[in-house]
Copies of this chain bind each other. A is one copy, B any other.
Amino acid sequence: MKQFARSPKDIGQAIRQARKDKNLTQKDLAVKSGVWQETISKVETGAASTKVETLFALLAALDLELAVLPRSRGSQADLEDIF
């Protein structure tokens, strides 16, 4: 079940989704990924930006990866969705 992402917020939602699907708490994921629980909270809620390393550490701990693909479907996200 694939999640598309055009903004940090999208990614955060996908991570939270995947974490819950695997029945992990933020603390569990923190231990697995080496990322602090507090940081995970911020990432999932989109409260703060993230470094790409942090993102991949979380994705790896959740057995996820990314695919880069052309924006075909749906409407364009405007810059406010990103910044």
Contacts and interface: CB of A to CB of B under 8 A. Distances in A.
Interface of A: 2-8, 10-11, 14-15, 18, 49-53, 55-57, 59-60, 63-71, 77, 79, 82-83
User: For the complex formed by this chain, how many copies does it contain in all?
Assistant: 2
A57 B55 CA distance: 16
Contacts of A10: 66
Contacts of A50: 51-52
Given A6-B56, A56-B82, A63 B71 contact: yes
A65 B69 contact: yes
Nearest to A64: B68
A2 B82 CA distance: 22
Contact of A68 (B14, B60, B71, B77): B14
